[in-house]
Structure 1
Amino acid sequence: MRYQQIARGAERHLVAETTDQHYDLTAAKPELESFRDLARAASVTDETIDEIARGALDDASELDAETVADERLLPVAPEEVWAAGVTYEISEQARQEESDTPDMYVDVYDAERPEVFFKATPSRTVGPDEDVGVRADSQWNVPEPELGIVLYRGDIVGYTVGNDVSSRDIEGENPLYLPQAKVYDRCCSLGPCVASTDDIPDPHDLSMSMSITRDGEEVYTGETSTIQMVRTCEELADYYTRHNAVPELAVLLTGTSIVPSDDFDLAAGDEVAIDIEGIGTLTNGVRTV
């Protein structure tokens, strides 16, 4: 199943999407108010999140797809978002081109240990149809479309779409500036849903695409497949959780291989749409922060 969070007046409700219908799980089970509640219940009962959801479907009211799309919020609220870098060959090439110390990216691409870094807090993360941010002190900003791993107490329970917005000129100036290039207001978006691990049996063979629209015209489009990742989701999750006090709920972004040309700069007013097979399309506007 796929799970979304929607606004119902002043309340938030968890919605489960099957092949042909949307169900309001919170209306059936008020204790299932969020994806965190669903993952917690599954952990306590030693069931999957889909098994917990199916137990509530008979009592859940049905919602039409348009209503869900109009009212959707950030589908999962992790305490932390982390990200992995240099997991595709093209991202390794792009990092080399932007950097004054390119050899270090080759070393990471070929190394046993992946690059895993902190990306965002809840206050820096936006959901579907909200604006992501580009830094006012950067002249080279790009969206980075990525498959996101959703983890509950370090275990993989689902997948989402992520946009790891980055300031390439700041990062390229000096690798020590990476936190400033990656972590700032509205630097990350997640959505439109969380797809369960049962719904995504092989996260390493999903088509992914991104388009950017400016003033009503498409200014960039690209596509790839997660089959090109040189790391597995399990490997990245393992390194993220090693010797690390991970929070109850986290998202780990897995890197990108859709990289706009060096003369492209994401600008306020642009619209970014990222689609991953089996999960959906995450759409965000852009503003300067």
Structure 2
Amino acid sequence: MRSLSMPDRGVFVGRVWLPDAQGPAIVTLRDGKLFDITSKDVATMRDLLERDDAVAHVHATAGQSIGALEEIAARSFHAGADAVHLLAPCDLQAVKACGVTFASSMIERVIEERAAGDPTKADAIRRRCMEIIGDSLKNLEAGSERAREVKKALIDEGVWSQYLEVGIGPDAEVFTKCQPMASVGWGAAVGLHPVSAWNNPEPEIVLAVDSKGAVKGATLGNDVNLRDVEGRSALLLGKAKDNNASSAIGPFIRLFDETYDMDDVRNAELDLMVEGDDGFVLKGSSSMKEISRDPLDLVGQACGAHHQYPDGFMLFLGTLFAPTQDRDIEGEGFTHKLGDIVDISASGLGSLTNIVKLSTECPPWTFGARALMQNLARRNLL
């Protein structure tokens, strides 16, 4: 049984499935218990995050206790619609993601591209690239004069790549990770497309942004990645990134207040552990201190006069983590096996735990925006 521990301080909000209502509730965490704070004013997480007084509203709303977090988390593994369980904390928001935001790890994207998705070629390409690049990418600020100099040097060496362009160039990679309502939460299965044989988790911080572009809080995410699919062609990014249950977010959004803000995000340290049924254990980390673009710059590249999100959006910030530890065959690095347990944690945000399955074997995604609106209408919440 997996446990879920959360920080003692902070304002945490999320979503829980209520079997009796056959729909979701907006909840907050208080002293180890979850309280339903859903109302006509705040029927969705989108509604709460659009409020200028979101933190004050949570504090002022008594809500109704629906149980201890520990008990609800225990029921969230393999839970169906007949059990109270945790959901992804977002609902109507778009789910966007930034790629190649850590210059020191983007070499793995170059390797994927040059290996054309073949993991047997990765190790040799990695050694050759590091001979050429060395530590030139360390502490490199994307779009800076030094980045332009490194870009020219790499072109001269014949190793320029589209991944290096978005990694150290002026424009960030921002793509759609999945549709609103499609992300899964703590304890749910995350899905791998059956065609993939080389894949990995991506532990990331996810920002909760309102329609005005203001960051209202942060949570954790797993941007499940199919290295072989994207490696074959960057034009297969949608197939590599957006599949059933390929986006995990949670367990809760920590609203920004006097105890946690953007500077805490900038200094966050993420830990990853993958435990397989075969006894394999992979441990890794991702330090937000090494990101090549400031999180607010990424928010600005995602939204503004050029692009609006009337329901707000969730933004994956990218990861430093790129697994190279061999699992089965020397030189082929890491790939998932079905049944892997993935745990992503950060001291200020708790932990996000999921089990790996094929996307075709994860519960089908059927509860979308229309289903949510119909459910809220039946409950007189609209």
The alignment status of 1:258 with 2:321, answered yes or no, reads yes
Number of the residue aligned with 1:158 = 217
Offset of residue 99 of structure 1? 1.0
Q: Does 1:221 align with 2:221?
A: no
The answer on whether the counterparts of 2:168 and 2:292 sit within 8 Å (CA) in structure 1 is: no
Q: Provide the C-alpha distance between the structure 2 equivalents of 1:146 and 1:6, rounded to a whole number of angstroms.
A: 22
Partner Cα separation in structure 1 for residue 32 and residue 199 of structure 2: 38
Please name the residue that 1:3 is paired with: 13
Report the Cα distance in structure 2 between the residues aligned to 1:66 and 1:7, rounded to whole angstroms.
15
Residue 270 (structure 1) aligns with: 340
The offset of 1:21, in angstroms, is 4.4
What is the CA-CA distance between 1:39 and the residue it aligns to? 1.9
Per-residue Cα deviation, 1:138-187 (whole angstroms, up to 9, x for no partner) = 11111111110111103211111111111111111222222221122221
Matched, 1:129 2:139: no
Number of the residue aligned with 2:69: 65
Cα distance in 2, alignment partners of residues 68 and 124 from structure 1: 21
| Structure 1 position 282, deviation (Å) | 0.7
Q: Deviations over 1:249-281 (max 9, x none)?
A: 311100011111152111221111111221111
Q: How does 1:1-289 map to 2 (within 5 A)?
A: 1-11=11-21, 12-18=24-30, 20-22=31-33, 24-26=35-37, 29=39, 31-40=41-50, 42=51, 46-47=52-53, 49-57=54-62, 60-61=64-65, 63-69=67-73, 70=75, 71-100=85-114, 103-122=161-180, 124-153=182-211, 154-198=213-257, 199-201=259-261, 202=263, 203-215=265-277, 217-242=279-304, 243-261=306-324, 262-289=332-359
Greater shift after overlay, 199-208 or 63-72? 63-72
Which string of whole-angstrom CA distances, capped at 9 and with x for unpartnered residues, describes residues 116-147 of structure 1?
11110135421111111111111111111111
Unaligned runs of at least 5 residues, structure 2: 1-10, 76-84, 115-158, 325-331, 360-382
What TM-score, normalized by structure 1, do the two folds share? 0.89
8 Å contact from structure 1 (residues 13, 24) kept in 2: no
Q: Is the 8 A contact 1:214 1:269 kept in 2?
A: yes
User: What's the CA shift for 1:218?
Assistant: 4.5
Residues 62 and 230 of structure 1: CA distance in aligned 2, closer, same or farther (over 3 Å): same
Can you list the C-alpha shifts for 1:48-77, whole angstroms capped at 9, x where unaligned?
Answer: x111111114x6548433244243222211
Distance 1:160 1:61 in 2: 23
Q: Higher strand share goes to which structure?
A: 1
Letter aligned with residue 181 of structure 1: A
1:139–1:61 distance in 2 versus 1, CA, 3 Å: closer
Distance in 2, Cα, partners of 1:277 & 1:115: 27
Q: For residue 134 of structure 1, what is the amino acid of its counterpart?
A: L
Whole-angstrom CA distance in 1 between matches of 2:242 and 2:86? 25
The two structures have a TM-score, normalised by structure 2, of 0.68
Paired-residue identity, %: 28
CA distance in 2, matches of 1:26, 1:119: 28
- Superposition CA RMSD, Å: 2.2
1: distance between equivalents of 2:188 and 2:180?
Answer: 14
Q: Counterparts of 2:356 and 2:32 in 1: how far apart (Å)?
A: 31
- Tell me the CA shift for residue 22 of structure 1: 3.5
Distance in 1, Cα, partners of 2:168 & 2:342 = 31
In structure 1, list runs of 5 or more residues that go unmatched. Answer: none
User: Per the alignment, in what secondary structure is the counterpart of residue 89 of structure 1?
Assistant: coil
Residues 1:33 and 1:124: Cα distance change in structure 2 (over 3 Å):
closer
Shift of 1:102: 5.4
In 1, the alpha carbon distance for the partners of 2:333 and 2:105 equals 16
- CA contact 2:103–2:168 (8 Å) conserved in 1: no
Amino acid aligned to 1:235? D
The one-letter amino acid of 1:93's match is: I
Q: Judging changes above 3 Å, is the alpha-carbon distance between structure 1 residues 3 and 84 closer, same or farther for their aligned structure 2 residues?
A: same
